[in-house]
Chains A and B, each alone.
Chain A
Amino acid sequence: MTNTGIFKLAIASGKGGTGKTLLSTNLADYLAQKQAVLLADMDVEEPNDALFFDAENKVITPQYKMIPDWQSDRCTLCGDCTRHCKFHAVIRLGDFVMVFNELCHSCYACSDLCPEQALPMKPYRMGETSHQLLNQLQLVESRLDVGQEQAVPLIYATQKYIRELENKPAIQILDCPPGTSCPVVAAVDEADFVLLVTEPTPFGLNDLKLAVDTMRQIDKAFAVVINRQGMGDDAVENWCENEGVKIAARIPYDRQLAEQYAAAKLAWRKNTALRKALEELAVLIQQKQVQYA
């Protein structure tokens, strides 16, 4: 837990397309009517939050990871580097040492342990973080460069970027990538509380179970938000009840809401059912803020 007076709420899901971005953008905008809020798009492979806001005054910061840079003049071809690298990112081919940037995890072992200092680390661009202020809403978005494969280093770099901001809003909403593997674990790492967004379908339930498993595994407090309530069956409701999992809010199935999302419009002002769900979540956030303060 952060214990810094800042409450970090992660919005995650197992299944993709359940409404993480819909909820993150609308909740952030709704809360920002009354207080300063930071919304961070951690879905660095496919970030969408910024589509819902005007692109004004964006400050863009390139993000780098550190990669060893082979210096042929210092290298004695001793082979220590290739032995140390567990990721097969440093390979010796005849008189050459090749570094495969996409395989490198930036552990520094090859570089630090090289007896000739022939592999100094140098920055290698992986993506960028954009930052803008829209009244009381600070929007931070990180985006992996196309062709880069590792999301996790950029997610951690984004958390560092947010930690180092001068004006940090007391409420931070983290829109996470879909799934249950390493990028999600990285994205919710600093969160005080996680909302798992799902839909009432067999796919939604299956992936919710996986997401709940993951949250329990990493010991994160969480609750569920059911989106498109009424579109499918009651299996998600029943499962949550049996498992003692709290359902924090329900957003009814509504084609108009889907249409507004499709057009990248924030819908909470016009859609009373969505606004009601956000009101409930605002109360929950207030309670949790007190709990984690």
Chain B
Amino acid sequence: MREIIVLSGKGGTGKTSVTAALGVLAAGKAVIADCDLDAANMHLLMQPEVLKKEAFFSGELAEIDPEACINCGMCEEVCHFDAVHQDAEVYDINPLRCEGCGYCEVVCPTNAISMHVRRSGDFFVSTARTGDPMAHAHLDAGADNSGKLVAKVKEEAKRLANQHQRDLILVDGAPGIGCPVVSSLAGVNYVVLVTEPSASGLHDLKRLVEVLQQFRLQAGCIINKADLNHDQAEAIRTFCFENGIEMIGEIPYDTAFTAAMIQGKTIVESDNQLKQIMDKIYISIQHKINVL
């Protein structure tokens, strides 16, 4: 079994569109996992039929029982997250600030504080419109995205791959370089980088590649909107060459990219230049993971 993740550093470079296109090209062979939980969009292109929905809990939240509270203020004193406030003589927890460390619970002299498990979203097992299994999730508004739900989606994708005897797991990753990205790297065999030829695109790509190097992960790069800026595109090619990252394709700036999204389709499902380019990209990725 091989696991491929699509990452970018910068947001909005086309990760989801590329992952979904690869999903259509690999139909019948793959499991799809959407690990960009902050902005999960894969379902818009894959129109999954949900087979199982489960609430996901991670971390804890403090709660003060006003009946037992004697307003001593110990909890406010020890909280390093500014989560405890006194409002009209009554102490209260701000759930957006509470990190669930439980320090207040330990010091409370009247046991007025208790810790409760915290819901962070829903988790789904589905069948994508390609007929392939899909693992995805929905994070609650403002929830903690520490990477635990990402890990759960990936674990489920692996289980689905075993159950349905699929050789390939295709993961759509998050932007950035923090917790959700690092959490999504466990067990990955190959990283497909999708970037754009802008100063921001290259800057963010460089930081991501540094993270990938810490995990000794092999990567290939796709430049989306490749003809937008010649100098930046060249700088990306040079950077990739110097860092042992193979160029696996360049997608020109094309209105068909957005037109496909509006129809709820991927860029390989209508007859245009994007399909030919993605076909080639898919073949080079297949070749790449076969020799891994």
Seen from chain A, the residues whose Cβ lies within 8 Å of a Cβ on chain B are: 14-18, 21, 45-46, 48, 51, 84, 86-87, 105-109, 112-113, 144, 146-151, 177-185, 189, 201-203, 206-207, 210, 213-214, 216-218, 231-233, 255, 258-259, 261-264
Selected contact of B142 from candidates A21, A150, A182, CB within 8 Å: A182
Q: Which residue of A lies closest to B206 (CB)?
A: A146
Q: Answer whether A147 and B214 are a contact pair too, CB < 8 Å, given A46-B207, A105-B101.
A: yes
- The answer to whether A108 touches B80, judged by C-beta atoms less than 8 angstroms apart, is yes
Q: Which residue of A lies closest to B81 (CB)?
A: A107
Inter-chain contacts of B41 with A (CB < 8 A) = 15, 202-203, 206-207
Q: Which residue of A lies closest to B204 (CB)?
A: A46
- The answer to whether B199 touches A214, judged by C-beta atoms less than 8 angstroms apart, is no
The segment from B49-57, B124-132, B151-159, B258-266 found at the interface with A is B258-266
Assess whether B39 is interfacial by the CB under 8 Å rule: yes
Inter-chain contacts of B182 with A (CB < 8 A) = 149
Interface residues of B in 230-253 (CB under 8 A from A): 231-232, 253
Assess whether B48 is interfacial by the CB under 8 Å rule: no
Selected contact of B178 from candidates A151, A217, A261, A263, CB within 8 Å: A151
14 further interface pairs, Cβ-Cβ under 8 Å (given A16-B175, A217-B142)? A46-B204, A48-B200, A48-B204, A84-B102, A147-B210, A181-B142, A184-B38, A184-B142, A206-B44, A214-B142, A218-B96, A231-B255, A233-B262, A262-B232
Q: Answer whether A210 and B96 are a contact pair too, CB < 8 Å, given A146-B177, A182-B144.
A: no
Inter-chain contacts of B106 with A (CB < 8 A) = 84, 109, 113
CA distance A263 to B255 in the complex (A): 21
List, sorted by A's number, 28 A–B pairs whose CB atoms are closer than 8 Å.
Answer: A45-B178, A46-B9, A46-B200, A46-B207, A86-B60, A105-B101, A108-B80, A109-B103, A109-B106, A146-B177, A146-B211, A147-B210, A178-B39, A178-B176, A181-B139, A181-B144, A184-B142, A201-B258, A201-B262, A202-B262, A203-B16, A206-B41, A206-B44, A207-B39, A255-B253, A259-B228, A263-B198, A264-B199
- The answer to whether A144 touches B175, judged by C-beta atoms less than 8 angstroms apart, is no
CA distance A245 to B179 in the complex (A): 32
Instruction: Across the A-B interface, give the 7 residue pairs with the lowest CB-CB distance, nearest first.
Output: A16-B11, A17-B12, A179-B38, A107-B101, A181-B145, A264-B199, A262-B198
- The answer to whether B37 touches A181, judged by C-beta atoms less than 8 angstroms apart, is yes
Assess whether B143 is interfacial by the CB under 8 Å rule: yes
Q: Answer whether A105 and B38 are a contact pair too, CB < 8 Å, given A144-B177, A146-B211, A181-B145.
A: no
CB distance from B90 to the nearest CB of A (A): 19
Assess whether B13 is interfacial by the CB under 8 Å rule: yes
CA distance A87 to B148 in the complex (A): 12
CA distance A262 to B197 in the complex (A): 6
CB distance from A201 to the nearest CB of B (A): 6
- The answer to whether A51 touches B203, judged by C-beta atoms less than 8 angstroms apart, is yes
Selected contact of A149 from candidates B78, B101, B141, B178, CB within 8 Å: B178
Seen from chain B, the residues whose Cβ lies within 8 Å of a Cβ on chain A are: 9-13, 16, 37-39, 41, 44, 59-60, 78, 80-81, 96, 99-103, 106, 115, 139, 141-147, 174-179, 182, 196-201, 203-204, 207, 210-211, 214, 225, 228-229, 231-232, 253, 255, 258, 261-262, 264
Inter-chain contacts of A232 with B (CB < 8 A) = 258, 261-262
Inter-chain contacts of B211 with A (CB < 8 A) = 146-147
Q: Which residue of A lies closest to B79 (CB)?
A: A107
- The answer to whether B141 touches A210, judged by C-beta atoms less than 8 angstroms apart, is yes
Q: Which residue of B lies closest to A143 (CB)?
A: B207
CA distance A214 to B182 in the complex (A): 24
- The answer to whether A15 touches B197, judged by C-beta atoms less than 8 angstroms apart, is no
CB distance from B2 to the nearest CB of A (A): 25
Q: Which residue of B lies closest to A151 (CB)?
A: B178
CB distance from B180 to the nearest CB of A (A): 8
Q: Which residue of A lies closest to B210 (CB)?
A: A146
Inter-chain contacts of A217 with B (CB < 8 A) = 141-142
CA distance A217 to B176 in the complex (A): 24
CB distance from A235 to the nearest CB of B (A): 8
Inter-chain contacts of B44 with A (CB < 8 A) = 202-203, 206
CB distance from A287 to the nearest CB of B (A): 27
Inter-chain contacts of A106 with B (CB < 8 A) = 80
Selected contact of A262 from candidates B142, B145, B199, CB within 8 Å: B199
Selected contact of A18 from candidates B12, B201, B261, CB within 8 Å: B12
- The answer to whether A258 touches B12, judged by C-beta atoms less than 8 angstroms apart, is no
Selected contact of A16 from candidates B10, B59, B146, B258, CB within 8 Å: B10
Q: Which residue of A lies closest to B12 (CB)?
A: A17
